[in-house]
Amino acid sequence: MLTDVASPPAPPVDADGLDGVTARLVELREWAGQPSYRTLVVRVRELRADRGVPASEASPGRVTIYDCFRPDGSVSTSSSWRTW
């Protein structure tokens, strides 16, 4: 659910490097009202399915989505992501 009617931030497609992409994704998530990572997984799965990706390949892992928002670009090595 969107909490602000302002225009969304710039898309991450023209961001400078991975840090720029991460920063833009964080901005977009904040603009969208901080949807949970689980909700983002569902939305990505739905978008992929709509594009014809087979169901067995359409759903990204929750940790994959979580890692997209990590500012240092590292991947999670603990189970802290399980708290959401």
Q: Is the pLDDT of residue 81 over 60?
A: no
Over the stretch 12-71, which tens digit does the pLDDT of each residue have?
777 888 888 888 889 999 999 999 999 999 999 999 999 999 999 999 998 999 988 887
Q: Is the pTM here over 0.75, yes or no?
A: no
Answer for the pair 41, 65: CB distance below 8 angstroms, yes or no: yes
